[in-house]
Amino acid sequence: MLASGGLSHSIGEPTMGDIDETFDAECIRLFRNGAEQPLIDFLGPAMPRAGNGADEVRNWVVAHAAAGAKGFELIDYLPVPEVYVGCGFASWSV
């Protein structure tokens, strides 16, 4: 199962270019762990503070649920200021 979408980033806001690596690391940790409730508890309040582009994490949530919330394998994570986004690459085994 694959999903695309950035982690923290802002587009067209005063915070454009900011990458919240702490948010990104916690997202990765929680998705890797697989437990649904801690992920829900974190994303609810944290996503609005991680930039308007952080809503793309919802794509990860859909893939996570479709794969049975078993956790994922992190392929890579890169904060890429040139494109204003924390980029994560992961796969879920079904």
Question: pLDDT tens track of the chain, all 94 residues?
Answer: 777 778 999 999 998 999 999 999 999 999 999 989 999 999 999 999 999 999 999 999 999 999 999 888 888 999 998 899 999 888 888 7
Nearest CA to 16 among 47, 53, 71?
A: 53
What are the domain boundaries of the chain? 21-91
Question: How open is the CA angle 57-62-66, to the nearest 5 degrees?
Answer: 145
Q: What's the pTM?
A: 0.91
